[in-house]
Structure 1
Amino acid sequence: MHTRQATIVNEAGFHIRPAQLFTEKAVQFQSTILVKPEGTTTEANAKSILNLMTLGLAKGSVITIQAEGPDEKEAVDQLAELVQSGFGEA
């Protein structure tokens, strides 16, 4: 299992466009990928836009991206970089 924290930096937070980009990237990997907001027990399947949208992540939210599978490190690193880039909006 590989994990990494990332902070939502774009002004609008994790709305539909970032969720779509995140999901599109996540489905490229074989690993099971979960997103967990800091300070909660809630987790979402990174390959489901609906699951991600239910997290209600705003700018400044810290998430843990967790993956388990054959490409877990690449998955976590690429998804964390996508979040840190502000999804092209920051």
Structure 2
Amino acid sequence: MQAMSNPSCQQTVVVKNEKGLHLRPAELVARLAMQFDSTVMVTKDDQSADCKNMLSVLTLGAVQGTQLGLSAEGSDAAEALSAVAELFDQGFHELDSE
């Protein structure tokens, strides 16, 4: 049997910005994830959230320094994962103002 045709990828990211994963970063993550066909999930401990759902992302309560797992599955999984991971790496564009 063939493996699943949808590729999947995983990556670990760290919340870098001082205020953590609050409303504005959660909204940025959701807006970015919605640009892709793939499903992008973010996981903290045993809790997972769909990156396309801002409120779901907020419920993770990720503060500065929290390690999160990102996973993506679908036709553009690698692109989606890379884009969302880069947003985390850039501190949601808040690092410049701190």
2:73 corresponds to which of 68, 75, 85:
68
Instruction: Report the CA distance between 1:54 and its aligned residue.
Output: 0.4
**Cα separation, 1, equivalents of 2:85 and 2:33:** 11
Instruction: Report the CA distance between 1:33 and its aligned residue.
Output: 1.0
Matching residue of 1:36:
43
Letter paired with 2:36: F
TM-score by length of 2: 0.88
Matching residue of 1:82:
87
Deviations 1:40-86 (A, max 9, x none): 21100100011001000000001111010000000001100100100
Runs (4 or more) in structure 1 with deviation over 3 Å come to none
Identity percentage of aligned residues: 38
TM-score by length of 1: 0.95
Gaps of 5+ in 1: none
Matching residue of 1:55:
60
Gaps of 5+ in 2: 1-7
**Cα separation, 2, equivalents of 1:65 and 1:26:** 12
2:26 corresponds to which of 19, 27, 36:
19
Matching residue of 2:5:
none
| 3-state SS, counterpart of residue 47 of structure 2 | coil
Letter paired with 2:86: E
Aligned residues: 88
RMSD: 0.5
